[in-house]
Structure 1
Amino acid sequence: MTRTSLQDHLSRWAGADPLRQGIESAITSLAEAGIAISELVAAGALAGELAAVRGHHQDGDSQKELDAIADRMVAEALANAPVALLGSEEAEEALVLDPAGTLAVAVDPLDGSSNIDTNVTVGTIFSILPYNGPHALLQKGSAQLAAGFLLYGPQTALVLTVGEGTHIFVLDRDTGTLLLAKERVVVPAETAEYAINGSNARHWEAPIRHYVGDCLEGAEGPRGKDFNTRWIASMVAEAFRILIRGGVYLYPGDARKGYTHGRLRLIYEANPVAFLMTQADGAATDGTQPILDIVPSSLHQRVPLVFGSKSEVERVARYHQDPLHRSERSPLFGRRGLLRA
């Protein structure tokens, strides 16, 4: 079977359109950086102390050695594309690359970096926006021209949208080429699987406690069916699983210090994943509004994030918006329950 390469796919899509050609160049550059990063990840300890902490960001998050390496590799690769502005999780301020560029790129160079030394899937997330001035990265997610993430696990894969569906490309290690493996992925609308870090249950607000409580009651509860729980602590791995077989991912805000507004970043984590999910007939919300409708106020703005199967994401939003969904009907998470915050 002959498969379409990423380069051929993008070339046909871009045609003679200058803006699209620029997007093609940026995606190709990001893919090249991702393949190189995947080789480091695959080498593990043989490549050095990649999980060593080399510093901390202003908000207290640690920066690992591979975080910094991946950040440098991405920036160097994008120097060959018409990118005017680059915003990265690893830098406090956006970096000007090409003042004449037509694009702004936001990137999390290594999502899931707490898993670097445990052989668990990690990845690189990116968002591509039109450059319209020094604040180009503060556009709503609905303004994205393209978004995606590279996945470094048993397979190296690129999940990509340019606004015409979500596609999955897988690295052919014999040729070093990313090949189209799944075209126009559709997230199943219904699911019986959710992903959340249950160790934080005592800190959750009522809508999340009741949603999870109803799922835990299974077939005997208000949902009328049993649910499975998943938690990998690597958002790209969770997103890939949901794209393949459905599910819902929840990283809510909670009562802990620094977590009131969630922990994931809007511009280079939530927005690109939300774009990918909506292009695959899924959905993404912060609990009260679609992620792609939020106007960012700062590069590293945090946001609660729920994404995945559309019916389940909409249900979570109803738990936030409709008092009828906040009744104390889940004993485990109820007012006198064992896991009451």
Structure 2
Amino acid sequence: MVQTVSDQMNVETDIITLTRFILEEQQKFAPNATGELSLLLNSLQFAFKFIAHNIRRAELVNLIGISGTANSTGDVQKKLDVIGDEIFINAMKSSGNVKVLVSEEQEDLIVFEGGGRYAVCTDPIDGSSNIDAGVSVGTIFGVYRLKDDSSGSIRDVLRKGTEMVAAGYTMYGASAHLMLTTGRGVNGFTLDTQLGEFILTQPNLRIPKNRAIYSVNEGNSYYWPENIKKYIEDLKKPQDELKGKPYSARYIGSMVADIHRTLLYGGIFAYPADSKSKNGKLRILYECFPMAMLMEEAGGAAVTDKGERILDILPKGIHDKSGIWLGSKGEIERFLSYL
């Protein structure tokens, strides 16, 4: 077999960009589709690139620090929160395919003019409290198709997570990593800043069934119910199946970064409700649902503190919260045995 010049130089010339991936997926699974979702996903990737650009420059252009305002749930907003929110609003508005937008940074949902047929729920910059320390942050998103008889209202998003048509996150760290699902598995992309394109680097990602890693903020353990305290304490004991070693603890404090590690390596991530935050801390529509869909599509699981499937929750408000446990199926099954 004759080697090409690119083979000899070890240069990959047939790369799969996110745009190419989206179009090929549409042709393969929905050849008669309108292409609106494909266009929406392309608008999303522009927002991710723009946010990544601003995060890389944040300290140089004075985007570090607080803005002096609070968001919909009372969290103090960082300057990047505000910038990220504006980027997302403008990208979704200009796409022409989004009718409804729910953002963590906005108290009410936004309804755009035009004939868009999709609703997007997002946390534009999750983990922004860590940005000053250079810790990885990210954007989380979930996408619904509007109900057939809807012209855009709150009922388009107050739905079970099982009705989402796409979900994912982009983590901004040493590189920008996008994890995306449209209901047919999970695919990972990495932003090539020279090309300005997200490149497919982790096709059909699967989470390991078991991994002896747990990720939880143990600073809240005083407020946990007894069964959760016992579960975590038992993980710290020598495990027979690990030749006498305990589970390893890994906690960054940025949900996107902790989930990204869990998705790649396996294990369990938890942010349970407690006596201090009785309904939990993480928001259902734009944190719990997208991450749960990703986990399930990668072969994992996601449940509430009571063991109910996260995606079966029916939220009553756009900023409703829940306790959450997600990760490898085997690790979730072990947690469920403590209920």
% identical equivalent positions: 34
| Structure 2: stretches of 5+ with no match in the other structure | 1-11
Matched, 1:125 2:137: no
Match of 2:157 in 1: 137
Q: Does the residue aligned with 1:202 lie in a helix, a strand or coil?
A: helix
Alignment of 1:220-299 (within 5 A): 225-256=245-276, 259-287=277-305, 288-299=307-318
Q: Is the 8 A contact 2:72 2:104 kept in 1?
A: no
Question: In structure 2, which of residues 206, 224, 233 is the aligned counterpart of residue 204 of structure 1?
Answer: 224
2-structure distance, mates of 1:316, 1:3: 41
Does the CA contact (< 8 Å) of 1:248 and 1:312 recur in 2? Answer: yes
Residues 63 and 79 in structure 2, CA contact (< 8 A), matched pair in contact too? yes
CA deviation map 1:107-145 (0-9, x unaligned): 000011111111110000000001123111111000010
Listed as ranges, the gaps of 5+ residues in structure 1 are 321-341
- Tell me, in whole angstroms, the C-alpha distance in 1 between the residues paired with 2:71 and 2:92: 23
Partner of 2:321: 302
* Matched residue SS, 2:239: helix
Contact 2:166 2:180 in 1 (8 A): yes
Alignment deviations for residues 275-308 of structure 1 (CA, whole Å, 9 cap, x no partner): 0010000110112201011111110000001111
Matched, 1:311 2:311: no
Paired residues in the alignment total: 317
Aligned counterparts, 1:101-180, within 5 A: 101-132=116-147, 133=150, 134=153, 135-180=155-200
Aligned residue in 2 for 1:11: 23
Query: Equivalent residue for 2:98?
Result: 83
User: 3-state SS of the aligned residue for 1:86?
Assistant: strand
Once the two structures are TM-superposed, the CA of residue 49 in structure 1 deviates from its matched residue by 3.5
Specify whether residues 242 and 222 from structure 1 end up closer, same or farther in structure 2 by C-alpha distance, changes over 3 A only.
closer
TM (normalized to structure 2)? 0.90
How far did residue 243 of structure 1 move?
A: 1.5
Structure 1 position 193, deviation (Å): 0.3
How far apart are the structure 1 equivalents of 2:44 and 2:242? 45
Q: 1:96 to 1:223 in 2, by over 3 A?
A: farther
Contact persistence 1:148–1:161 (CA under 8 A): yes
User: Shift of the alpha carbon at 1:267?
Assistant: 0.5
* Aligned residue in 1 for 2:7: none
Q: Distance in 1 between matches of 2:83 and 2:207?
A: 33
Please say if residues 215 and 223 of structure 1, whose CA atoms lie closer than 8 Å, have aligned partners that are also in contact: no
Which has the larger displacement, 70-79 or 58-67?
Answer: 58-67
SS in structure 2 of the partner of residue 160 of structure 1: strand
CA contact (8 A) 2:66 2:76 kept: no
TM-superposed CA distance for 1:74, in Å, is: 0.7
Q: Contact 1:247 / 1:308 at 8 angstroms: preserved in 2?
A: yes
